[in-house]
């Protein structure tokens, strides 16, 4: 009986998620007038494939028309990420481990999946550069992107579960590898993550995780960032990579100089 109730609950959540995503992609804002909408929305399991399929149906013009909706989703995802960090800090200070801790982790994980899905859809290689500039590099939106990077790095550099770090690395890989032809976009994201702390965290993650996909994504990230202005002696990724003693990293260093 309990299993049946849980199954029905899962189906209900899944149906609600799809309903709300459909609403968003139609240009509607289902959060209007609903108190605590976002707290509930980020408890739903994110269907990344469903969102990808929705993006596949959109033209560049349609994506630009839905700009405010996508920015709304990104902004509220950022709020969830920031709150999750604050909650974790409070819980650690007070040595609290309860159901709210798990709820916060679920929201954090789902917020990262929403962000990944949106950026993946916007940065698709077939998209016109105008889409990227209008949604992400526009002067009006750059402040939001900066807040997004701050939140992402704050979580990445903190003591969070391996799954969360893997999701963040996956997002960063998308940001710095998709649509590389847009130089402004490409350089912006690279420079945001080109620091010693980020390298150390990613390198540590690679050596500790057993997930092959995550390891590959971690190495992709390091190689792209280390390769950026590789003849600049101040590139922290290149400096730290050259001093890396773990043999796993040797091939990356050699690759950069081939």
Is 20 within the bounds of a domain? yes
Residues 169 and 202 in one domain: no
Burial of 183 per CB tally in 10 Å (0-12, 13-18, 19+):
exposed
Stretch 152-169: mean pLDDT = 89
Q: How many domains does the chain have?
A: 2
- 70-129 per-position pLDDT tens digit: 999 999 999 999 888 777 666 666 665 555 668 888 999 999 999 999 999 988 877 888
Residues 125 and 231 in one domain: no
Is 58 within the bounds of a domain? yes
Task: Tell me which residue range forms the domain holding 231.
Answer: 194-258
Tokens at 30, concatenated: 């289902």
Residues 215 and 161 in one domain: no
Residues 87 and 157 in one domain: yes
Residues 242 and 129 in one domain: no
Task: Provide the pLDDT for residue 140.
Answer: 79
Specify the pTM. 0.85
- Calculate the dihedral angle through the C-alpha atoms of 178, 180, 185, 189, rounding to the nearest 10 degrees: 70
Is 252 within the bounds of a domain? yes
Is 189 within the bounds of a domain? no
Tokens at 258, concatenated: 């081939």
Stretch 4-23: mean pLDDT = 70
Q: Is the per-residue pLDDT at 19 higher than 70?
A: yes
Gap between the Cα atoms of 191 and 189, Å rounded: 5
Tokens at 174, concatenated: 């998308």
Is 103 within the bounds of a domain? yes
Is 185 within the bounds of a domain? no
- 184-225 per-position pLDDT tens digit: 677 888 888 999 999 999 998 988 888 999 999 998 998 889
Mean pLDDT of the chain: 83
């Amino acid at each position: 009986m309990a299993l049946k109730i849980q199954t029905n609950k899962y189906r209900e959540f899944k149906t609600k998620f799809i309903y709300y995503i459909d609403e968003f992609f139609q240009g509607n804002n289902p959060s209007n007038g609903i108190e605590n909408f976002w707290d509930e929305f980020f408890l739903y399991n994110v269907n990344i494939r469903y969102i990808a399929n929705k993006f596949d149906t959109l033209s560049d013009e349609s994506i630009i028309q839905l700009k405010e909706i996508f920015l709304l989703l990104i902004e509220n995802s950022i709020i969830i990420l920031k709150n999750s960090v604050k909650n974790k800090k409070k819980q650690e200070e007070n040595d609290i481990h309860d159901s709210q801790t798990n709820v916060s982790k679920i929201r954090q994980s789902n917020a990262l999946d929403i962000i990944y899905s949106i950026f993946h859809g916007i940065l698709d290689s077939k998209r016109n550069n105008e889409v990227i500039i209008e949604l992400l590099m526009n002067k009006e939106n750059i402040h939001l992107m900066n807040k997004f990077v701050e939140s992402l790095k704050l979580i990445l550099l903190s003591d969070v579960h391996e799954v969360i770090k893997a999701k963040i690395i996956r997002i960063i890989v998308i940001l710095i590898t998709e649509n590389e032809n847009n130089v402004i976009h490409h350089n912006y994201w690279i420079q945001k993550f080109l620091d010693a702390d980020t390298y150390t965290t990613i390198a540590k993650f690679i050596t500790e995780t057993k997930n092959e996909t995550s390891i590959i994504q971690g190495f992709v990230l390091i190689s792209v960032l280390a390769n950026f202005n590789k003849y600049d002696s101040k590139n922290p990724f290149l400096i730290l990579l050259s001093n890396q003693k773990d043999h796993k990293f040797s091939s990356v260093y050699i690759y950069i100089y081939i």
